[in-house]
């Protein structure tokens, strides 16, 4: 799997993803990015920042209608407000609102807890673990599945866990490597390995998988 990483890195360069000022902002972004473009997430995050609400204690104090108004640009704002509230309730209850303390808990225990929260699936949980808390869990998304299938590395029927293990069992368990690799796959998926009109003829990894 490393050959694909280095091919992508040589073509795209470092991505330095996830763009956020604090770990909690990453968590918020992981919820808001569900079913929407990142540009919409940025607008919602900006509203939260302007309201000085990028803090679990502040979001905990907001009523749901205030929160919905702030995150409206991200789409599905009622659903996402409920999910953000569930995440914040967990952080407040278990860690007294301290994200740094949250990061001290073992990764697999955190993953179990996050997956028990309303609206948090595996991709969202692993995004929080990897990008916000520095835990070595590889994030699998639609881009990853599409790219690996087209490269002949998976059949396409594998579960999230099967695909995640393909990375985690063959790569060094390095947080920065996982971050960069996932970000590079997203870049390839957006620019070349599209669901429609894929640019296979100019794909930067084509020569590596033929």
How far is it, in rounded angstroms, from Cα 103 to Cα 158? 30
Residue 61, φ and ψ in degrees, nearest 5:
-85, -15
**pLDDT tens digits, residue range 26-41?**
999 999 999 999 999 9
**pLDDT tens digits, residue range 117-146?**
999 999 999 999 999 999 999 999 999 999
- Take residue 56 and report the two structure tokens written for it: 């679990």
**pLDDT tens digits, residue range 78-122?**
999 999 999 999 999 999 999 999 999 999 999 999 999 999 999
pTM of the entire predicted model: 0.94
Indicate the Cα dihedral angle 9, 123, 81, 68, nearest 10°. Answer: 30
Indicate the Cα dihedral angle 41, 44, 50, 56, nearest 10°. Answer: -90
Average pLDDT of span 72-82: 97
Ordered by where they begin, the domains of the chain are 2-15+138-209 (1.10.1670.10), 23-132 (1.10.340.30)
As a three-state string, the secondary structure of 182-205 is HHHHHHHHHHCCCCCCCCHHHCCC
How far is it, in rounded angstroms, from Cα 140 to Cα 64? 30
């Amino acid at each position: 799997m490393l050959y694909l990483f280095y091919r992508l890195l040589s073509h795209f360069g470092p991505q330095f993803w996830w763009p956020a000022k604090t770990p909690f902002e990453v968590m918020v972004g992981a919820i808001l990015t569900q079913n929407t473009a990142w540009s919409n997430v940025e607008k919602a995050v900006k509203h939260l920042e302007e309201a000085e609400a990028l803090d679990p204690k502040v979001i905990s104090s907001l009523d749901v209608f205030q929160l919905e108004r702030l995150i409206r640009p991200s789409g599905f704002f009622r659903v996402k407000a409920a999910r953000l509230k569930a995440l914040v309730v967990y952080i407040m209850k278990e860690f007294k609102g301290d994200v740094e303390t949250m990061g001290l808990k073992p990764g697999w225990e955190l993953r179990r807890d996050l997956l028990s929260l309303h609206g948090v699936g595996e991709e969202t949980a692993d995004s929080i673990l990897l990008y916000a808390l520095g835990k070595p869990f590889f994030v699998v998304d639609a881009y990853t599945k599409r790219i690996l299938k087209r490269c002949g590395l998976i059949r396409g029927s594998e579960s999230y866990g099967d695909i995640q293990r393909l990375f985690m069992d063959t790569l060094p368990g390095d947080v920065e490597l996982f971050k960069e690799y996932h970000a590079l796959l997203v870049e390839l998926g957006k620019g070349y390995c599209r669901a429609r009109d894929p640019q296979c003829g100019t794909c930067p990894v084509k020569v590596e998988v033929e």
